[in-house]
Chain A
Amino acid sequence: MSNLFDLLVAGLATGAIYALVAVGFTLLWQTSQTINFAQGEFVMLPAFLMLAAMHAGAPFWLAIILGILLSMILLGLAFKMLLVDPMTRHGVLPLAIATMALAIGLKEAVKQFFSAEASPFPSIVPTGDISILGHAVSLQSIGVLVVAILAVFGLTALLNRTSLGHQMQAAAQNPTVARIIGVPVERMILLTFLINAFLVALASMLITPIYLAKFSSGEVLGQAAFIAAIVGGFNQVRGAIAGGLLIGVLDNLAAAYVSTQYRAAVPMIFLIAVILFRPQGLLGRAEERTV
């Protein structure tokens, strides 16, 4: 039993990180029909920005702030202005392909300018275990969970409780009407890109101490986030959160109980089943089909 408990905690911790990444992914989809195939690389990059700041002599806290700011400029502002804005009117597919190219570019840039080797990354949470209900639980898992949950609650509160959040939702659901009633739609879309950049930077800071900073680490993460987003519901923030947690737990349980060789297959089969039998996702609304 204690094994199952440990697996659940570890699964929830990775799942919470997937959820952060998946939430950003769905935000971009909702506001600008961007399927960001570089989302995994977006998580990989901020850790390197933080490491670069530390190499330049900044203390850890300053490096984190700089890393988050820089990724909001690069992965939020520049990504939107330089790539998404010129392409968004040409439909979903060319933009999706362009983000694939961006993923290659980001990986290669990190490999070239930083290192092809994995680098260690300091943790914001002290390492060690504490005892909960007689189980030793790593502080890191708890720290990750707490930060991720706070971020998600903060975001949901922003979206549902504030006027700004309502404007963002209006811009996402019906841009034309939103514009008529005076919502600055363009600014709202930019805001979602900045929020996405903030979330991936946060996820980067949380996950890199566990898996090390490596140029290729985005591939697995990006896929997990896609699956989480689809499973939970592509058009719902809470769907992406549930999907992330579910995929994290499923992945950990599959590794323990199915086989380590086929652990990656379990979320995939789950994904296919969800798409075929409930395409709108577990918590999503059915999208109106255009014929």
Chain B
Amino acid sequence: MSGFAKPLKIALGLIVIAGLIIVPMNFNRYGLFILSQWAVMSIAAMGLNLTLGYAGQVSLAQGAFVGIGAYAAAIMTTHGWPLPAAIVVAIALSFAVGWVLGYPALRVQHHYLAFVTLAFSTLAFLVFRNESWLTGGIYGISNIPRPHFFGIATNKPLPFYYVCLGSLAIVSIAVWWLIRSPWGRAFMALRENPLRAQSLGIDTRRYTLMAFAIGSALGGVAGALYAPLTQYIDPVPFNLSLSLDLLMMVIVGGAGFFLGPFLGAMIAVLLPEWLRFTEGYYLMIYAVAVMGLLIWSPTGILGILDRHMAERRTKAASALRAVAKSRLETAQ
């Protein structure tokens, strides 16, 4: 995206951030809920984007990690622990489980890996549903408290939206730093050519596990925010379709692009809401829109932009070449 001048990009970024802070101030309860949900899903999708988009490991289990985070947060906060402590536990737990789930990826790839993670997703759902002593079973856990930060209660929708937005900002900065660090480069090397990465001395084994663990940990963060956002959780939202939705968000937004998950989550969370006026048809239109987009651009929305930029650059380059050529010819 180097087509934009840098100051312009920074200005655009600041306008979007300011908009996200100021515009929702006069939103109603439901609008704020949807926007908070967007922030939470963006975090989860960003985690999956690390695993899939940067490290190239297909995972159909991100929804399960959102569930693990949500249950960790719900159980701890209803027992009087503060939310930040619950988030730390959610991160640690999802990181550990994600690390273990990474082991199959050392053995199998692509669709096989997708199916292992799919099976894991279903198993996690069964545990959420059946272990009622811990998770409340099908009745779920209700009255999940929202936290106090620096003496400010976040019970109202607007303060809690800022909690979600702030968390999204922190996660975004961390991910931004990560993909520019040697680790991020190693992840991309793993995606592009594992064999070459290995021969360059990258410990592919460790980085594969890390890609899973870090991506899953972000799923856990999203879950730990999801629980106080809805204030009631049961197993249903964390079934396989959440994992499929998150995968769809990453691909539709543009896998391997930093901004992809934000756009993907926007389409998956906000587009159905905007289509509400079509009543029963909104999910159908949404499905057709996703298919149409993928037919048009299999690399997602940012893929379109990327292609456009590349075309412009080639055109600019060939224009320069033409000028240079005519100059050379007149010089002769």
Asked if A279 and B112 make an inter-chain contact with CB atoms under 8 angstroms apart, the answer reads yes
The verdict on B162 contacting chain A, using a C-beta distance below 8 Å, is no
Asked if A97 and B248 make an inter-chain contact with CB atoms under 8 angstroms apart, the answer reads yes
What are the interface flags for A68-105 relative to B under an 8 Å C-beta threshold, 1 for contact and 0 otherwise?
00000000000000010011001111111110111011
- A85-128 contacts to B (CB < 8 Å): 86-87, 90-98, 100-102, 104-105, 108-109, 111-112
The verdict on A54 contacting chain B, using a C-beta distance below 8 Å, is no
At the interface with chain A, which of B36-44, B88-96, B283-291, B324-332?
Answer: B283-291
Asked if A101 and B122 make an inter-chain contact with CB atoms under 8 angstroms apart, the answer reads no
Chain A interface SS verdict (over half)? helix
Asked if B281 and A269 make an inter-chain contact with CB atoms under 8 angstroms apart, the answer reads no
At the interface with chain B, which of A159-167, A186-194, A239-247, A260-268?
Answer: A260-268
A234 vs B194: C-alpha distance in the bound complex, in angstroms? 24
The contact of B284 among A35, A109, A230, by CB within 8 Å, is: A109
A97 with B104, Cβ < 8 A, contacts A276-B116, A279-B112 known: no
Asked if A83 and B295 make an inter-chain contact with CB atoms under 8 angstroms apart, the answer reads yes
Q: How far is the CB of B294 from chain A (nearest CB, A)?
A: 5
What are the interface flags for B105-117 relative to A under an 8 Å C-beta threshold, 1 for contact and 0 otherwise?
0011011101110
Asked if A230 and B252 make an inter-chain contact with CB atoms under 8 angstroms apart, the answer reads no
For A226, the closest partner residue in chain B by CB is B115
Asked if A265 and B126 make an inter-chain contact with CB atoms under 8 angstroms apart, the answer reads yes
The verdict on A37 contacting chain B, using a C-beta distance below 8 Å, is yes
Asked if A268 and B294 make an inter-chain contact with CB atoms under 8 angstroms apart, the answer reads no
Chain B interface SS verdict (over half)? helix
A102 vs B80: C-alpha distance in the bound complex, in angstroms? 44
The verdict on A151 contacting chain B, using a C-beta distance below 8 Å, is no
Q: Which residues of A contact B58 (CB under 8 A)?
A: 93
The contact of A279 among B108, B252, B288, B291, by CB within 8 Å, is: B108
The verdict on B120 contacting chain A, using a C-beta distance below 8 Å, is yes
A138 vs B107: C-alpha distance in the bound complex, in angstroms? 44
Asked if B122 and A104 make an inter-chain contact with CB atoms under 8 angstroms apart, the answer reads no
A35 vs B120: C-alpha distance in the bound complex, in angstroms? 19
A271 vs B110: C-alpha distance in the bound complex, in angstroms? 15
A276 with B108, Cβ < 8 A, contacts A94-B251, A94-B294, A98-B295 known: yes
A97 with B294, Cβ < 8 A, contacts A272-B120, A276-B104 known: yes
Asked if A105 and B130 make an inter-chain contact with CB atoms under 8 angstroms apart, the answer reads no
Q: Which residues of A contact B247 (CB under 8 A)?
A: 97, 100
The verdict on B119 contacting chain A, using a C-beta distance below 8 Å, is yes
The verdict on A291 contacting chain B, using a C-beta distance below 8 Å, is yes
Q: How far is the CB of A85 from chain B (nearest CB, A)?
A: 10
Asked if A272 and B122 make an inter-chain contact with CB atoms under 8 angstroms apart, the answer reads no
- A206-246 contacts to B (CB < 8 Å): 219, 223, 226-227, 230, 234
Asked if B280 and A102 make an inter-chain contact with CB atoms under 8 angstroms apart, the answer reads no
A35 vs B280: C-alpha distance in the bound complex, in angstroms? 28
For A116, the closest partner residue in chain B by CB is B280
Q: Which residues of B contact A105 (CB under 8 A)?
A: 283-284, 287-288, 291
The verdict on B221 contacting chain A, using a C-beta distance below 8 Å, is no
Q: How far is the CB of A126 from chain B (nearest CB, A)?
A: 36
The verdict on A195 contacting chain B, using a C-beta distance below 8 Å, is no
The contact of A108 among B112, B240, B284, B294, by CB within 8 Å, is: B284
Asked if B295 and A272 make an inter-chain contact with CB atoms under 8 angstroms apart, the answer reads no
The 17 sampled A-B contact pairs (Cβ below 8 Å) are A90-B298, A97-B247, A97-B252, A101-B286, A101-B288, A102-B291, A104-B286, A108-B280, A108-B283, A112-B280, A223-B122, A264-B122, A269-B119, A272-B116, A275-B115, A275-B116, A279-B108
Additional pairs, 19, CB under 8 Å, beyond known A86-B295, A91-B298: A35-B111, A97-B248, A97-B252, A104-B286, A105-B287, A105-B288, A108-B280, A109-B284, A223-B240, A226-B118, A265-B126, A268-B123, A269-B123, A271-B116, A271-B119, A276-B116, A279-B107, A279-B112, A291-B195
**Which residues from chain B sit less than 8 Å from chain A, CB to CB?**
58, 104, 107-108, 110-112, 114-116, 118-120, 122-123, 126, 129-130, 194-195, 240, 244, 247-248, 251-252, 280-281, 283-284, 286-288, 290-291, 294-295, 298-299
